[in-house]
């Protein structure tokens, strides 16, 4: 027997997709569908972002800066869409959110393993984030693997070293699980890149775009949280907006920001 012809619905698994939104409130409350859909859409974008971030690291490893830039541009477009999507959720008032919030129990974006995976690729790693997930779960295995992996910044420095820049060994061989600290030696190299090496300076600019894009998402998310729940604690158990404020404005690639006043 031949397989049935591929259709839009069979290829994209539309029936399965449309069955995945299960409101918990009685009624159900009107706004809960939006809340579920928007989080699911985010998780799909997170999946795509990870796919593309892996690609950028590979292009850098293959010494393909133009292709790395091309993929970074796609990543930035996705981040912009992710930021813009918050506008939709901000149409939900505090009272509308209250109609179903307690049904979320302890569920929170705090528990998004894909968001943590993105942070890990970008250099924000922590053992605590891994331990929140059960051993041998998909989430835990993915985070453990990414904890050991070189970050995008490590990949970039190794690429620069192959381009002929004298990147000190301490940076090329560093423990990739520790936070990225500013370094005056790396800053000296970046200044040279910006002044005399337009191809790689462009690559630096795309990394700054990415860094700024992620910071923008954090800022917009905390503002949305403030206007929706004020100073209430988060369902994930944190202090809520006060906790999120601490994560805002922290650059991913500090050296790229440090050098700007010297250019």
Q: Cα–Cα distance between 140 and 101 in angstroms, integer?
A: 27
Q: Residues binding ligand HEM: what is the number (CB under 6 A)?
A: 24
Residue 191 touching ligand HEM (CB under 6 A): no
- Between residues 97 and 219, which has the closer beta carbon with respect to ligand HEM? 97
Tell which positions 150-189 bind ligand HEM, by CB under 6 A: none
The DSSP-derived string for 26-62 is: SS--TTHHHHHHHHHHHHHHHHHHHHHHHHHHHHHHT
Q: Which of 112, 187, 215, 245 binds ligand HEM (CB under 6 A)?
A: 112
Residue 122 touching ligand HEM (CB under 6 A): no
CA 28 vs CA 21, 33, 100: distances in Å: 12, 9, 9
What share of residues in the chain are helix, strand, coil (percent, to 5)?
Answer: 70, 0, 30
Q: Which tokens sit at 239? A: 């202090």
Q: Cα–Cα distance between 25 and 261 in angstroms, integer?
A: 52
Q: Which tokens sit at 238? A: 């944190």
By CB under 6 A, which span of 7-15, 146-154, 194-202, 234-242 interacts with ligand HEM?
234-242
Q: Which of 242, 206, 227 is nearest to 79 (CA)?
A: 206
Provide, rounded to whole angstroms, the least separation between the CB of residue 154 and ligand HEM.
22
Residue 78 touching ligand HEM (CB under 6 A): no
Number of Cβ within a 10 Å radius of residue 231: 10
Provide, rounded to whole angstroms, the least separation between the CB of residue 25 and ligand HEM.
14
Helix (H, G, I), strand (E, B) or coil at 155: helix
Contact between 143 and 116 under an 8 Å Cβ cutoff? The reply is: yes
x/- site string to ligand HEM, residues 38 to 77, per CB under 6 A? xx--x-----------------------------------
- Between residues 115 and 147, which has the closer beta carbon with respect to ligand HEM? 115
Residue 147 touching ligand HEM (CB under 6 A): no
Q: Cα–Cα distance between 148 and 57 in angstroms, integer?
A: 14
Residue 235 touching ligand HEM (CB under 6 A): yes
By CB under 6 A, which span of 48-56, 136-144, 208-216, 241-249 interacts with ligand HEM?
241-249
Residue 237 touching ligand HEM (CB under 6 A): yes
Provide, rounded to whole angstroms, the least separation between the CB of residue 87 and ligand HEM.
11
Instruction: Give the footprint of ligand HEM on this chain (CB under 6 A).
Output: 38-39, 42, 89, 97, 108-110, 112, 115, 221, 224-225, 228-229, 234-238, 240, 243-244, 247
């Amino acid at each position: 027997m031949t397989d049935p012809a591929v259709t839009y619905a069979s290829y994209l698994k539309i029936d399965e997709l449309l069955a995945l939104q299960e409101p918990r409130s009685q009624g159900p409350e009107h706004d809960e569908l939006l809340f579920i859909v928007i989080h699911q859409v985010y998780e799909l974008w997170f999946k795509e972002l990870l796919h593309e971030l892996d690609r950028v690291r590979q292009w850098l490893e293959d010494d393909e800066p133009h292709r790395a830039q091309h993929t970074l541009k796609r990543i930035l477009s996705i981040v912009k869409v992710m930021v813009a999507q918050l506008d939709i959720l901000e149409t939900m008032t505090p009272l509308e959110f209250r109609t179903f919030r307690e049904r979320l129990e302890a569920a929170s974006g705090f528990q998004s393993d894909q968001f943590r995976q993105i942070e890990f690729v970008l250099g924000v790693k922590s053992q605590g984030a891994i331990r929140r997930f059960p051993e041998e779960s998909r989430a835990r295995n993915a985070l453990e693997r990414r904890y050991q992996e070189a970050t995008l910044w490590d990949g970039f420095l190794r690429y620069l070293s192959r381009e002929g820049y004298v990147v000190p060994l301490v940076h090329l061989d560093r423990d990739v699980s520790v936070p990225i600290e500013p370094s005056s030696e790396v800053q000296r190299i970046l200044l040279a890149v910006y002044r005399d090496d337009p191809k790689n300076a462009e690559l630096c600019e795309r990394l700054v775009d990415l860094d700024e894009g992620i910071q923008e998402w954090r800022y917009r998310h905390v503002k949305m949280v403030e206007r929706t729940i004020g100073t209430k604690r988060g369902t994930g158990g944190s202090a809520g907006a006060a906790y999120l404020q601490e994560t805002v404005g922290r650059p991913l690639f500090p050296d790229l920001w440090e050098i700007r006043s010297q250019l």
